[in-house]
Amino acid sequence: MQLMSEKSAAEGGLRERKKRATRAALAEAAVRLAAEHGAEKVTVEAISAAAGVSVRTFFNYFDTRDDAFVVIDAEAGARMRRAVVEAPAGLSPLEALREAMAAELAEAEQQHELWRLQAEVLHASPHLLARGVGAHRAAEEDLADAVAERLRGAGGTGGSGPGSEPGLYPRLLAAVASVAVRTSMDHWSAHQEEAAFLDVFREVFTLLAAGLPAPSA
Amino acid sequence: MQLMSEKSAAEGGLRERKKRATRAALAEAAVRLAAEHGAEKVTVEAISAAAGVSVRTFFNYFDTRDDAFVVIDAEAGARMRRAVVEAPAGLSPLEALREAMAAELAEAEQQHELWRLQAEVLHASPHLLARGVGAHRAAEEDLADAVAERLRGAGGTGGSGPGSEPGLYPRLLAAVASVAVRTSMDHWSAHQEEAAFLDVFREVFTLLAAGLPAPSA
DNA sequence: TGCATCTTTGCATACCATGCAACTTATGTC
DNA sequence: GACATAAGTTGCATGGTATGCAAAGATGCA
């Protein structure tokens, strides 16, 4: 048992780094090829070839061909979970989720070109959007748990037992937050010139916090 | 131009009725088999055999194997669209959506056993939930259009069908509503004894309309 | 009845996805 | 540095998913 913390980029031994590199290469190849030829026309074989590995290896990294277009960072879920639990006490659950996701998305947006390409790909192939970012089911469950844990910690009783199923409220919150991400991406990719992505994202949360009233003007 | 209205069940010629019957048989077979053996273990061949058609015919009705578990009524989207547009003027967009969906869901719930089975299947195979009911992308687009039209139509502008792209608000509303359905189903299928489905559904919309505040106590 | 149209079906083909066994590459120890 | 072990990669075999095409079977209508 070593006390390493291997969080982000260049941590771990050669093995770990190679794995990360391979995964990233596959994901990037998938997005680039999809942006160029359309997601439907991109075969696993093409992705694997572009990343320099065998087809079989592709499936060691992704359960499904479509996952390669969607999952850019596999550890984002865990980070968001922590961010939600540890967010300042003054924030509402919705705000805590917003900030956790905004931080994550801001980081993803650093790789500007790739991010933009991915948004285009997802916009062009809506069924991929359904899996988008937080939609990855595991991440959503994680978020629901995180919300439940946060509520327990604050003294309120919104969740149920410690390890058991999260209640209706945390579940709904996680689902809504994840749908907020994909709606933002979808809308933004259709209006990339007009507004920055994170602004769209925050506007969505503003609408949600206001209870989705009819736009007055 | 004939003035037929062929809306619901027994309308149309023999051809239409047979097609509806085949589709329904396939969907029902899919759900029953999935409830019994688990969705992953059910092959298209088995579904087709149970419905008494060839495998090739299955794919004439559904684009994807998974669609058979999810799409119970193909015309629900169109009906909801109309319901949203024609809802009483006093209702907010969110309320209009809630009522349109509630009506649709109430009808689906008539076929009690099948509905319950489907909820179980979707709960057991979360990735199917991602496509759940309204998640079928076309339906969501339809809903977004309907909301947009409703907002425009408040002034009585006729003619224009589904205009250009719906804005951020209609899109978000449709996405949230569809996620509300699947969250309700998911939660309900885990607590079937405690509450009626439609009550869970309405509670979800209450939370949404309130802006998802932290549960006070 | 007979023709036009739509639907179903089998066949061929290509891609997706998984299990298994052989092979190659890192890691830690002596 | 060499060795044993664990981990990752690869090819192969297999079975399920999905689409195009053309022939055969129903249906609608005159």
* Residue A21, nucleotide of least CA–C1' distance: D8
Nearest residue to A26 (alpha-carbon basis) of A66, A78, A79: A66
Q: Quick: pLDDT tens for A7-27.
A: 445 567 889 999 999 999 999
Cβ B186 to strand D below 7 Å: no
CA distance B63 to chain A (A): 12
For the ranges A157-161, B46-50, B132-136, the maximum mean pLDDT occurs at: B46-50
More confident residue, A207 or A5: A207
Task: Please determine, for residue B157, whether its predicted confidence score (pLDDT) is greater than 50.
Answer: no
Q: Best mutation site among B149, B179, B199 for testing chain A: the one with the most A CBs within 10 Å?
A: B179
Q: Which of B171, B180, B217 comes nearest A183 by C-beta?
A: B171
pLDDT in tens, A89-100: 999 999 999 999
Q: Is the pLDDT of residue A4 over 70?
A: no
* Partner A contacted by B187 (CB < 8 A): yes
Q: How far apart are CA A28 and CA A20, in angstroms?
A: 12
pLDDT score, position A91: 96
C1’ D10 / CA A56, Å = 7
Contacts (Cβ under 8 Å, ≥6 apart) of B138: B77
Residue pointed to by tokens 């994909």: A182
Q: Which stretches within A38-167 are classed as H helix?
A: 44-51, 55-61, 67-70, 76-85, 93-110, 112-124, 126-129, 137-154
What pLDDT score was predicted for residue A137?
Answer: 66
Helices (H) and strands (E) in chain B, counts: 11, 0
Q: What does the block give as tokens for B147?
A: 């909301």
* Mean predicted confidence (pLDDT) in A195-202: 95
Q: What is the mean pLDDT of residues B79-107?
A: 94
**How high is the pLDDT of residue B71?**
76
Mean pLDDT calculated for residue range B38-54: 97
B19 strand D contact, CB < 7 Å = no
What is the pLDDT at residue B160?
Answer: 44
Give the pLDDT band of residue B136 (cuts 50, 70, 90): low
Residues of chain B found within 8 Å of residue A168, distances taken between Cβ atoms: 183, 187, 200, 203-204
Task: Report pLDDT digits (tens) over B192-215.
Answer: 888 999 999 999 999 999 999 998
Overall average pLDDT of the B78-85 stretch: 91
- By Cβ distance, the residue of B180, B203, B211 closest to A211 is B211
Q: How many CB atoms lie within 10 A of CB A145?
A: 21
Mean pLDDT for chain B? 86
Residues 6+ apart with CB under 8 A from A15: none
Comparing C-alpha atoms, which of A87, A66, A211 is closest to residue A129? A66
User: Is pLDDT of A175 > 70?
Assistant: yes
Once rounded to an integer, what is the mean pLDDT over residues A125-132?
Answer: 76
Output the pLDDT for position B201.
Answer: 97
Residue ranges and CATH numbers for the domains of chain B are 15-70 (1.10.10), 76-209 (1.10.357.10)
Secondary structure of A162-188 as H, E, C letters? CCCCCCHHHHHHHHHHHHHHHHHHHHH
Percent of chain A with pLDDT over 90: 58
Nearest CA in chain A to B67: A127
Among A70-79, A130-139, B179-188, top mean pLDDT goes to: B179-188
- Coil/strand/helix, residue B162: coil
What per-residue confidence (pLDDT) applies to A135?
55
For the residues A146-175, what does the mean pLDDT come to?
Answer: 76
pLDDT of residue B36: 95
Name chain B contacts of A178, Cβ cutoff 8 Å.
179
Interatomic distance A12 CA / D2 C1' (Å): 25
| Minimum mean pLDDT range among A111-115, B16-20, B105-109, B213-217 | B213-217
Report pLDDT for A158.
47
Answer whether any strand D atom is within 7 A of the Cβ of B45.
yes
